[in-house]
Structure 1
Amino acid sequence: MASKVIQALYNDDDVLMSAVKRVKAERHHIEEIYTPFPVHGLDKAMGLAPTRIAITSFLYGCVGLTVAITMMNFIMIEDWPQNIGGKPSFSYLENMPAFVPIMFELTVFFAAHLMVITFYLRSKMWPFKEAENPDVRTTDDHFLMEVALHDNEEELKALLADTGAVELKITEKH
C-alpha cells in the first residue's frame, strides 16, 4: 500500500535541525531524513530510540575471544604441542601470556567484521541493491525530510515552508 509523503528540501543542517524540532512539536510523523553527512543530534531531535549495536559488538568480541582460546588450546596444546623456546606445552594456563596478542587480535577481528555484516543486514543493504535515495542532491549538499501526509497537505506545506524549506514536493511512498 502506497502512502503520500511531502518531501521538504533544505540547504543547511542547522535549518534542518530547527525544522525537525518544530515538526515534531506540531506532532507530525517524520518518515525519513536523508543527509549528505551525519548531523549531530538529529536522532535525538527525531525521537529515535538509542541503538543497541554496542551490545552486539561486545557479544561478537566474546565470540572472537572464545574462538581464539579454543583454537589456541587445540592447536598448541592438544593437537601439535611444540617446544618453542623451552616453554612447557602441556598446559594452556602456563602458555597464556604468549597467547594474549592472539586473543586480542581475534577479539577485535570478530567484533569488527561481524559488526559490518550486522550493519549491512540491519540497514537492508544487499549487494546489487538499487539506491533508495529520493533526490540525488542529498548526496552532495542538500537535506531532505519526508513527512507523512494524512489529509493535512496545506497545513504541512505552510509549516515546512515556514521552517525554511527551499523546495516542497508531494510523492507516493511504497
Structure 2
Amino acid sequence: METSKVIHAIYTDDDVLMSAVKRVKAERYHIEEIYTPFPVHGLDKAMGLAPTRLAITAFLYGCVGLCVAVAMMNFIMIEDWPQNIGGKPSFSYIENMPAFVPIMFELTVFFAAHLMVITFYLRSRMWPFKKAENPDLRTTDDHFLMEIAVHGNETELENLLKETGAVEIKLIEKEEAH
C-alpha cells in the first residue's frame, strides 16, 4: 500500500462547482475525481474527459441480439417445428420475416440493454459486495466533492479552492493499492 495526499474541496452548488472545475483546470491542476449527488451536465467536458465508447458497445450488443433472434426464429419456426399459422408458408424464413419483426426488435433491445448494464458495472468496477468508494456521505445528498492530487503545493491549492467558492477544504492521506 502506498499513500498519497489529496485535497477534498466541498461545494454546495453545481454552478459554483462547474466554474471551479474550469478555474482549477485553467491553473493546470489535475482533478482526480468529482463526486456529485446527481449528473452535472457538461462536467465531463469541463474536466477534459475523453468521450465514452459505450455507445459503440450498445450497437454491437444490439447486432448480437438481432443475429440471435434471426437464428432462433429460423431454427424454431422453419427448421425444427414448422407450423401453418394463418396460412403463412413455413418453408421460408424470408416469407415469414414480416411476422418476425416484433421479435427481432425486442431481442435487439433486450440484448443491448442487459449487456450494457453488465458492461457498465464491469467498466465502473462495481462488483457485488464491493465497499463504496464515496469519501463523503454528503455527496449522496446535496454536496459536491472535488478531489485533487497534492504534490507539495497545498497552500496555493487551498487558496485557489477558497477563491473558487469551496465551503470546506480537507487534506487527506489516501491509500492506493497497486
| TM exceeding 0.5 | yes
Task: Determine what percentage of the aligned residue pairs are the same residue.
Answer: 84
1:5 has 2:6 as partner? yes
Aligned mates of 1:59, 1:172 — CA distance in 2: 42
Aligned mates of 2:116, 2:158 — CA distance in 1: 40
Calculate the TM-score normalised by the size of structure 1.
0.99
Aligned mates of 2:73, 2:3 — CA distance in 1: 55
Structure 1 position 50, deviation (Å): 0.5
Match of 1:113 in 2: 114
User: CA deviation digits over 1:125-163, x for unaligned, max 9?
Assistant: 111111110000000000000000011011101100111
Match of 2:84 in 1: 83
Tell me the secondary structure at the aligned position of residue 132 of structure 2. coil
Aligned mates of 1:2, 1:70 — CA distance in 2: 54
Match of 2:31 in 1: 30
Structure 1 position 3, deviation (Å): 1.4
Aligned mates of 1:92, 1:28 — CA distance in 2: 60
Match of 2:127 in 1: 126
Structure 1 position 172, deviation (Å): 1.8
Match of 1:65 in 2: 66
Runs of at least 4 residues of structure 1 off by over 2 A? none
Structure 1 position 29, deviation (Å): 0.3
Match of 1:17 in 2: 18
User: CA deviation digits over 1:15-40, x for unaligned, max 9?
Assistant: 10010000000000000000000000
User: CA deviation digits over 1:33-90, x for unaligned, max 9?
Assistant: 0000000000000000001111000000000000000000000000111111111100
Tell me the secondary structure at the aligned position of residue 2 of structure 1. strand
Aligned mates of 1:39, 1:98 — CA distance in 2: 43
Structure 2 unaligned regions, length at least 5: none
Structure 1 position 2, deviation (Å): 1.9
Match of 1:45 in 2: 46
Aligned mates of 1:93, 1:25 — CA distance in 2: 59
Amino acid at match of 2:141: D
Aligned mates of 1:111, 1:2 — CA distance in 2: 40
Tell me the secondary structure at the aligned position of residue 10 of structure 2. strand
Structure 1 position 114, deviation (Å): 0.5
Calculate the TM-score normalised by the size of structure 2.
0.96
